[in-house]
């Protein structure tokens, strides 16, 4: 019994079409870049009490708004509460941005763990 020396024989008589594969990879890269740009241009808002926080679709903080008269600037406890509300509002907005990223990039990442829009830390993580 002799084994074939051509590892691409299983792909048919035409062999492996590297150009088609490269073209497909280029298209996927362009789609991913476009989706990432749409995310960077989108916004998510988190609101906790008198605090509103806005992040872009990639989770970068873009604005913080505090309702006038909601906090006393010379009261340490009031300022601590303000800080806590800002953190909580940011976490809310960031969770919304992460969800948007998952929806936008998940199909393009093809379910690869650690790819943009996919949960990190799974085996085979790509690290970007």
| pTM, 2 dp | 0.63
Sheet arrangement for strand 61-66: 43-48, 51-56, 61-66
**Domains along the chain?**
15-109 (3.30.1310.10)
Mean pLDDT of the region 68-90:
91
Distance CA 22, CA 119 (A): 26
- For residue 9, what pLDDT band results from cuts at 50, 70 and 90? low
Distance CA 74, CA 28 (A): 54
Structure tokens at 31: 């789609």
Residue whose tokens read 């073209």: 23
Q: Return the pLDDT at 37.
A: 85
């Amino acid at each position: 019994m002799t084994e074939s020396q051509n590892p691409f024989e299983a792909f048919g008589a035409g062999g492996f079409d590297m150009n088609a594969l490269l073209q497909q990879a280029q298209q996927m890269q362009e789609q991913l870049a476009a989706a990432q740009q749409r995310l960077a241009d989108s916004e998510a808002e988190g609101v906790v009490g008198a605090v509103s926080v806005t992040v872009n679709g990639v989770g970068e903080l873009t604005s913080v708004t505090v309702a006038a008269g909601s906090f006393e600037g010379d009261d340490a406890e009031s300022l601590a509460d303000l800080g806590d509300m800002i953190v909580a509002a940011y976490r809310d907005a960031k969770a919304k941005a992460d969800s948007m990223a998952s929806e936008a990039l998940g199909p393009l990442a093809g379910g690869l763990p650690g790819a943009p829009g996919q949960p990190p830390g799974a085996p085979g993580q790509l690290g970007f």
